[in-house]
Structure 1
């Protein structure tokens, strides 16, 4: 057996961390570039995260770009050749209650684009959280998934039947969850699903 590997793979990067004096603004930005003998362009990564929290309101912006030739042989690169944005916003109410500490909605979405900046995938969530003074947390949330395949894909990994590139797949679902946290320094978390409703449909634009 003949093993094929590159002569070397190096990564050079820069990272900047942000934290305002009042801690309302926090974030991070980074740039990475990989170096390999036969890989001289389209081999960098950029990602950033910016969060604002003040009283009732909080919002967060994340984005990342991974060029198609970026490699990290001593690390793990799940995918390449994409751009992703992931914004979210939430609001908390603080009632005058002996049992409920706060409650409020959170809306978030995660959207992927290919290297031609064409929309290919998304996950959108709407959730409502209720935190009790006992530190128990109740969450009710629903979501919507969309994926447009960029290459053939066998979801069973053994049938040999591939879904076609360009086919579009959507899932809508909702779920309730209770998460219990102990007030001790060592947190032990348990959760269970109360109910779940799934609606799934597929269609092939070809």
Structure 2
């Protein structure tokens, strides 16, 4: 893909390329190789040397035994950027064992401080993480519970450039039950540790006092989740949580309600609420995210979907509505309308867009 330049905003014309190949091994495993390249195709005074190109070359091996008892992923990636000659490696390994009663996993990932993938997404660099899992499953011979399990999932992160200082950990202890009617119940406990290197405001309140950086925070929270029988015409998911949050407390509630009138109508309502209480002089916040959705099937060829969302944190109200016409097998015409509004002080348009998309399957 070749992108155009935008000199006003100092955006260069860039070539973006991805090449990948995969080879099947054994019964269900495979080995992949990939090459990714992003490179400015002209010389510009405003482009720094280290941003003139970025390349990634890597190998991936996915393990899957014949009976699916063993699965795993192993990778080694190296990035190439101008004037960068070290600490540009990313690698990882994860092996998981499944049986009727046990699920065991050990995984580890390393990302060097200078590793870059401009055409991908890297959550953090300069990190070494391990993520084991131990889960024991029980199968009652009678009663309403089909199966239940208890598990422990710790996640530990270290910073190699700081003598492998432990920067974060989260230990998740969970009990989960699945009932005969397909409903589910889950209890979780989160034990967290965070070394906050810089001060920040988790509420994103303008002008607020951020919580202090260069400090250790230990906090524990509890969560309950219940999913009702999804086969019913009306179903729901409820997910409250409560506990410590850095140097304060956080109360959260998530819910989703779904109504299905098959085969023509489906609707859902998602509600997320977070209440953050921090000690003075740090800010408090109540954050709402509400999103209803409607799907209508007129016939086998015509579909209409509408999604509405309100975010108190972003002060935004948005509408996305899409009409889909399947005029031939695997061939569709989409008409999409997006509308966004400011909700702070005055309800006013933010931006709008109208999109037309056509896909056609060439069956030759």
TM-score > 0.5, shorter chain as reference: yes
Give the corresponding residue for 2:168.
121
Q: Work out the CA distance in 2 between the residues paired with 1:23 and 1:34.
A: 33
TM-score norm. by structure 2 comes to 0.51
* Pair 1:14–1:131, CA change in 2 (3 A): same
**Aligned-partner SS, 2:141:** coil
The match for 2:132 is: 87
Q: Which structure ranks higher in relative contact order (CA pairs < 8 Å, sequence separation ≥ 6)?
A: 1
- Who is 2:149 aligned against? 104
Q: 1:182 aligned to 2:227? A: no
User: Structure 2: how far apart are the matches of 1:154 and 1:201?
Assistant: 11
Partner of residue 27, structure 1: 72
Q: Is the 8 A contact 1:84 1:110 kept in 2?
A: yes
Aligned length: 199
Task: After superposing the two structures, state which structure 1 stretch, 165-174 or 135-144, moved more.
Answer: 165-174
Going from structure 1 to structure 2, the CA distance change for 1:12 and 1:181 (only over 3 Å counts) comes to farther
Aligned-pair distance for 1:201? Answer: 5.8
For 1:181 and 1:88, the matched residues in 2 are separated by 28
Who is 1:150 aligned against?
197
Distance 1:175 1:162, change over 3 A: closer
5+ residue gaps, structure 2 = 1-8, 11-45, 249-364
Inter-partner Cα distance in structure 2 for 1:40 and 1:154: 36
Q: What is the TM-score of this pair, normalised by structure 1?
A: 0.86
State whether structure 2 residue 180 is matched by structure 1 residue 133: yes
Q: Give the aligned partner of residue 85 of structure 2.
A: 40
Q: CA RMSD in A?
A: 2.4
* Higher-strand-fraction structure: 2
Q: Report the CA distance between 1:54 and its aligned residue.
A: 1.2
Distance 1:38 1:160 in 2: 39
Q: In structure 2, how many angstroms separate the alpha carbons of the residues matched to 1:75 and 1:189?
A: 37
Q: How many Å apart are 1:125 and its aligned residue?
A: 0.9
Whichever of the two has the greater Rg, that structure is 2
Gap regions ≥5 residues in structure 1? none
CA shift, 1:179, in A, is: 2.1
Aligned to 2:94: 49
Cα deviation, residue 19, structure 1? 1.4
Q: From 172, 175, 180, give the equivalent of 2:220.
A: 172
The separation in 2 between residues aligned to 1:169 and 1:29, in whole angstroms, is: 33
